[in-house]
Amino acid sequence: MSIISPCINVCVTDPETDLCYGCSRTTKEITEWSKYNDEEQSKVIEISRKRMDELQRKAFDKAYKEKIEIGTGLLKKQKLQD
């Protein structure tokens, strides 16, 4: 089974940390995502979640769960409805 990208459509990277504000992946992790196997993708998600504080992790988990269940994230769903 293929791992769904953890992108939750909050695609802004902090210039100092090189971490995406939405998924906490580095630019390299984002650009290399499709080259990783399932084990590597799972590890990236695990590492990126550890980079998050509790509030960000809760918001990410909610958006990522919705993306897995319905195929799109909360923010993208809202943008499509507007």
Lowest mean pLDDT among 18-22, 64-68, 77-81: 77-81
User: Given this model, what pLDDT does residue 56 score?
Assistant: 96
Mean pLDDT over residues 60-80, rounded? 79
When pLDDT is averaged across residues 6-13 and rounded to a whole number, the result is: 93
Residues 6+ apart with CB under 8 A from 54: none
How confident is the model at residue 78, as a pLDDT? 63
30-47: average pLDDT: 97
Q: Which SS3 state, helix, strand or coil, does residue 77 take?
A: helix
What was the pLDDT predicted at 72?
A: 73
